[in-house]
A and B are shown apart, each in its own frame.
Chain A
C-alpha cells in the first residue's frame, strides 16, 4: 500500500511566521503535489514536482514555495503566514506512466490555522 505521511495533523501559527509543511511518500513515486482544500472551492493545486529539484507552479502559488531535495520528500513553505492561508493542506503523490499514472495518493492532511 502507498503511504503518504504529513508531518503534522494540526498546526497553529502566528501571522508573519515562516511555516514548513513536510510530506513523505514511501512508494518511489516521481510526482508529488501540494493542494489546499477550502469549503466550496474543492482542492486547488499550489505546486507540484515531477522530479527531484524540479517544481512547477499550480493554480494558486502566491505566498508559497516548495522544496524537493529527495525523491520521497516534498516540502511546502509559507514564507510569511497570513490569515488567508488558514486551510487544510493536502499532499499527494503519483507514478509517471502506466495504467494507474493518473491516480494520486493523498496524505491525511494538515489543518493549518494562522492567527
Chain B
C-alpha cells in the first residue's frame, strides 16, 4: 500500500519555464514533508521541506506547496535550468525520523 505517490514517472520542461512536480499522500498523520533530488550514480540530496502547519515554503528557485485537505504536495522550480534534470522524490514523516518515499519523477530540462 503506497502511502506516498508520485503519479508522473517523468516530466519534460523547457529551460526557463516552470517545472511542477506533484505528490499525493494518504496518511493524514504525516506532519512533515520533504523533497529530495537524485542524480545518476549519486545518493539523494535534500532539497526543501515543509511542516504540516504551513502551506508554502520557498527557497530561491524552489517552492513547495502543501494542500492538506487534498493531501497533495507540489514542488515548483522557477526558472528551470539544465542542472535541474534529475529524479525528484517526495517523502513524508509521521512524527519520527522514519521517512516514506514516493516512486520518483524524472525531470528533464530541455535547452
Is B29 an interface position by the 8 A CB rule?
no
- The count of chain A contact residues (Cβ–Cβ below 8 Å) is 27
Chain A residues with CB under 8 Å of B43's CB are 4, 90, 92, 106-109
* Contact between B97 and A42, CB atoms less than 8 A apart: no
User: Interface range on chain B: under 10, 10 to 19, 20 to 34, or 35 or more?
Assistant: 20 to 34
Of A11-19, A61-69, A95-103, the one contacting chain B is: A95-103
Tell whether, in the assembled complex, residue A42 and residue B102 are in contact, meaning their CB atoms are under 8 Å apart. yes
A105:B46 contact, CB within 8 angstroms: yes
Mask: chain B, 65-93; 1 = CB below 8 Å from A; 0 = not:
00000000000000000000000010101
Instruction: Please determine whether B49 and A102 come into contact, CB atoms closer than 8 angstroms.
Output: yes
Chain B facing A: main interface SS: strand
Minimal beta-carbon separation of A75 from chain B (angstroms): 17
Count A-B contacts at CB 8 Å: 57
CA distance A35 to B100 in the complex (A): 11
Interface centre among A4, A42, A92, A103 (most CB of B within 10 A): A42
The chain B residues found within 8 Å of chain A, CB to CB, are 4, 6, 9, 32, 34, 36, 41-46, 49, 89, 91, 93, 97-104
18 contacts between A and B (CB under 8 A): A42-B6, A42-B101, A43-B44, A45-B100, A58-B98, A90-B43, A92-B43, A94-B97, A102-B99, A103-B34, A103-B46, A103-B49, A104-B99, A106-B43, A106-B44, A106-B45, A108-B42, A109-B41
- Chain A residues with a Cβ under 8 A of chain B: 4, 9, 31, 33, 35, 40-45, 48, 50, 58, 90, 92, 94, 96, 101-109
